[in-house]
Homo-oligomer: A and B are copies of this chain.
């Protein structure tokens, strides 16, 4: 897997992953989970939706929960640099013969909903309503003290294809796992725009499905505290995996499930990646440390379960391999 050429100029400028939309079946139950237990800030609550953000986020929302008949992921949201990037993005998707068009989203400016070649719904925007900066309102800190949305991880039926497509959008590879040997296929890849390990990762599996979204927390002690809180306030079954250290990304991690089964990672540490000649790290599929540096196995559910995307047909994985997902 060659590193992408960074001299390549992307067709439009994605700055970072920004927000995600999920459907949930009980908004009150979700609010208790995300606000009281997990520690996100509720910017706005309507009868049909809940808008939440992390403690350092000045944007109106990084998580939108909408009441629905079944739990689904609706779209992944990315922020672009300027308004004209949206027009260039529309042209790009149209030229590729991919579905794309502007949609109305409360509290967002012009918003382009586009679908990648596998039907994954991606939402682009340049402007969003602001929200009060609470970074130094420490009395609001609760739960795991989630600071900001960090990344998305996607089950992909064609990992190589997905990595190629998003490299064409300017995403840069930081780590990847592949089979050994001269024809070794790639089973997972981590890509970024914002300068840390990832904004977006793909892992071999039936999909597209959302494996997890991740929030960044200040230290491992915040994550340990969340384990203690969840285990002793009725959310023990929602602790799925960890805490532990990923080989890939070097992050200290915890995976939890929300009341509808959507998976959230909490994540700390990782490293800088913005250099143009930053070399991606290769992991062999045979190296167990890529998933867990300390050797603890992940439960079956973690390899198999994910959130379907609304209206997005799923395909089988292109090849059978030990599923490789981390951070």
Asked whether any CB of chain B lies closer than 8 Å to the CB of A95, the reply is: no
Residue-wise interface mask of A (129-166) relative to B, using a CB-CB cutoff of 8 A (1 in contact, 0 not)? 01001011111010000011000000000000000000
Task: Kindly identify which residue among B82, B137, B221 contacts A7, using a CB–CB cutoff of 8 Å.
Answer: B82
By a CB distance below 8 angstroms, the chain B residues around A138 are 225, 228-229, 231-233
CB of A179 closer than 8 Å to a CB of B: no
Please, how many angstroms separate the alpha-carbon atoms of A293 and B247 in the complex? 25
Asked whether any CB of chain B lies closer than 8 Å to the CB of A260, the reply is: no
Interface residue A282 (Cβ < 8 Å from any Cβ of B) = no
Is A70 close to B, CB under 8 A? no
> In the complex the two chains form, is B136's CB within 8 Å of A293's CB?
yes
Name the residue among A194, A221, A239 with the largest chain B CB count within 10 angstroms.
Answer: A221
| Residues of chain B with a CB closer than 8 A to A148's CB | 271-272
Which residues A235-268 have CB closer than 8 A to chain B? 236-237, 239, 243, 245, 247, 250, 252
- The docked-state distance in angstroms from the alpha carbon of A279 to that of B276 is 26
Contact of A294 among B133, B231, B271, B295 (CB under 8 A): B231
A245 / chain B contacts, CB cutoff of 8 Å: 224, 227-228, 231
- A127: interface (CB < 8 Å): yes
Name the distance in Å between A38's Cβ and chain B's nearest Cβ: 12
Q: Does residue A274 face the partner (Cβ distance < 8 Å to B)?
A: yes
* Contact partners of A221 in chain B: CB under 8 A: 219-221
Contacts known (A6-B81, A81-B6, A239-B295); A272 close to B228, Cβ less than 8 A: no
Cβ B236 vs Cβ A136 within 8 A? no
Residue pair B136, A247 in contact (C-beta under 8 Å): yes
Q: Which residues of B contact A229 (CB under 8 A)?
A: 138-139, 141
Q: Is A79 an interface residue, CB under 8 A from the partner? A: yes
Asked whether A218 is an interface residue with its Cβ less than 8 Å from the other chain, the reply is yes
- Residue of A58, A79, A141 contacting most chain B CB atoms (<10 Å): A58
A16 within 8 Å of B (CB atoms): yes
User: Could you show 8 A-B contacts with beta carbons less than 8 Å apart?
Assistant: A15-B276, A16-B274, A79-B275, A126-B276, A141-B225, A195-B195, A221-B221, A232-B293
Counting from the closest, the 3 A-B pairs by CB-CB distance are: A138-B228, A139-B233, A138-B229
CB within 8 Å of B: which residues of A? Answer: 6-7, 15-16, 37, 56, 58, 79, 81-82, 126-127, 130, 133, 135-139, 141, 147-148, 194-195, 218-221, 224-225, 227-233, 236-237, 239, 243, 245, 247, 250, 252, 269, 271-272, 274-277, 279, 281, 289, 293-296
Knowing that A16-B275, A138-B231, A139-B233 are A-B contacts, what are 7 other residue pairs whose CB atoms are under 8 Å apart, sorted by A's residue number? A126-B276, A137-B232, A141-B225, A194-B272, A219-B220, A228-B245, A236-B289
